[in-house]
Amino acid sequence: MDENKVLVNSDSIDLFAEELDRVENALPRRINADPAKVEKGLAKLVLTLVELIRKLMEKQAMRRVEGGSLTDEEVERIGETLMKLENKMQELKEVFGLKDEELNLNLGPLGNLM
């Protein structure tokens, strides 16, 4: 960026550049169709959707737990389900070499999926 375009900068411009690089790298607008990487691209897409559903389930569960209307047994069961689900997701991310911040989708004008 041209220096004369910067009107006010309260810190090193590198700090902002680093953050923007993070967005660019994490949220490609297209799936990588390179044959060698297509498996990872597809896994990324599928795991992003699974992660979205998992997070929604987690939110819903938190609401119910907070509401205090669950029995002891139900609390145990929800805890076990969520824990196993998160562990499984962790395993799958490791298998495909994906980081948390990579599991997102850029929906253009709508912003990011999560």
Partner 1 sequence: MNRLKCIYAILDSNRNLDLDIKGLDGFSVNTLAYKDISAAVSDIEKDDLKVNKECALSYGRIIESIMERCTLLPVRFGTLVKSDREVIGLLEEYYDDFVINLRQVKGKLEYGLKVLWDVEKVNLQIMVLSGKEDLKSLDQLKGDSPYKGYLLKKLKEHKLEEALVKKAQEIIEDIHKPLAELSFLNKFKKMTTKKIILDAAYLVEKEKKDVFVQGFKELSERRQDLKFLLTGPWPPYNFIESSNFKKETLV
The residues of the shown chain that bind partner 1, judged by CB under 8 A, are 1-2, 5-11, 13, 15-16, 19-20, 22-23, 58-59, 61-62, 65-68, 70, 72, 75-80, 82-83, 111-112
Nearest to 98 by CA among 33, 30, 51: 51
Q: Which is nearer to partner 1, 18 or 39 (CB)?
A: 18
- Asked if 5 and 17 count as a contact pair (C-beta separation under 8 A), the reply is no
Work out how close the CB of 39 gets to partner 1 at its nearest, in angstroms, rounded to a whole number: 26
Work out how close the CB of 8 gets to partner 1 at its nearest, in angstroms, rounded to a whole number: 4
Nearest to 24 by CA among 113, 111, 106: 106
